[in-house]
Amino acid sequence: MYSVVSFSHKNTSIELRELLSMDEDEQSLLLNRLYNIEGIKEVVVLSTCNRLEVYICADTEGSVLCDEILLEIANIKHLDINMLKSIVNLFTRLDAVHHAFCVASSLDSLVLGETQISGQLKSAYKLAYDRGFCAKEITRLMHFAFRCAANVRNSTQISKNPVSIASIAVSSALDSLKDGSLGGSKVLVLGIGEMGTLSIKHLSRHNFDITLTNRTKSKALDFIANFNRNIKFVDFEDALKNVNDYDVIFSAMAGGQFINASKVVKKDSKRIWYDLSLPRNIEECDVDPNLEIVSIDDLSQKAKDHILGRQNNARAGMAIVGQSVLEFSQWVERLDIEPLIKVMREKAKASINNKLSKAVKKGYIPSELTPNVEKLLVSVMNEFLHMPTIRLKQLANSEQADSILESIGNIFANSDSFMLNRYKCEYDTTEAKG
């Protein structure tokens, strides 16, 4: 049974999301602790600026396991479990599948249609897979989620002219520059992770004077050389000393807060500093009334305006998700080994009855011998299917199980069944295992 424990922008404040944010080491620790909870078979942990979510496959209902999962999160992040219980969203069974598909398709994102989340979910899945915390069951869920996301992108306009938190922030800065309220166009970008890179990409399309800083100088210089735009570089420590020289800052670095109120100097001109990190990099302060510090959640209204413009695409995307959930449920049922073995035996038994009936009708076998002949043929059938049945049960837990069982199911099935392609998951499973 699938379940998802969710803290996202929908039910969790930015302050709490900041406290819940986990780096890779903390994610690995949580994966290990959750994997050892009785009843949990597989687990994936997703941590982004807008959500912390735990995806599990378990022998036990998610409602029973939820408190144990929250306890481990609370212990790792030193939070009150009762507070977590009061706001957590729990999705179970097909609701969990539906939620996973919505997340992968960016239909649950703060910025509808943004393309970052699919890659972030793939990275979370890869981390868990490479370290042995998930296998066949969650692999099925994730692969189908990525397939659903691709279908949503290709069948709707939801990701046309992709929008992200970074692009919305740049758009906001551009509006301030155009209306003359901004003091100037000097921009400092801190960090060249995904958010920082996106910020520079969008800033470079407009008339901004861009300076980049990063803790690792060589990475920043390589980025500038490859980006082929007029971007300056400043050492990280020098950038922090001179933050007041910039009209606009886009901060998107790991490591928590490093721009605090003591670094702010009052100026006559307006400045806007965008804090696109979680945990946040910039401390809220009221030292300068002309300085506006904008967090991810502060951009939510612009995101909502953007969502309104994509509602039709969202509805179409949700219809695709609903159909994908149904297909996934049906597909998983067809992959179950016991129904497949039953179908094989029923096919064989039907052939015995059909041929025996014809043989009696044509006089090849006396009717009074029918029961004995039937017993003999069933005995032959059982002997013939004995080893294949054992082998199928052995294969049921292998990595190749899905492909093998689906192929055999298609051979024996009366009705057409769709084939699940080995769709791209952006990493090589043989390499992951090697």
Tokens of 373: 């002949």
Task: Give the active site residue among 49, 57, 134, 148.
Answer: 49
Q: In what order do the strands lie in the sheet with 209-213?
A: 232-233, 209-213, 186-190, 248-251, 271-275, 291-295
Kind and range of the H or E run holding 3: strand 2-8
Kind and range of the H or E run holding 344: helix 337-361
425 is catalytic: no
The Cα–Cα gap between 303 and 349 comes to 61
Bridge partners, 209 (sequence order): 186
The Cα–Cα gap between 205 and 270 comes to 22
The Cα–Cα gap between 295 and 374 comes to 76
The Cα–Cα gap between 73 and 4 comes to 14
Largest CA distance in the chain: 109
Our CA angle for 232, 236, 242, nearest 5°, is 80
Collapsed DSSP state (helix, strand, coil) of residue 74: helix
Tokens of 214: 């990063």
Give the CA radius of gyration of the chain.
Answer: 28
Enzyme catalytic residues: 49
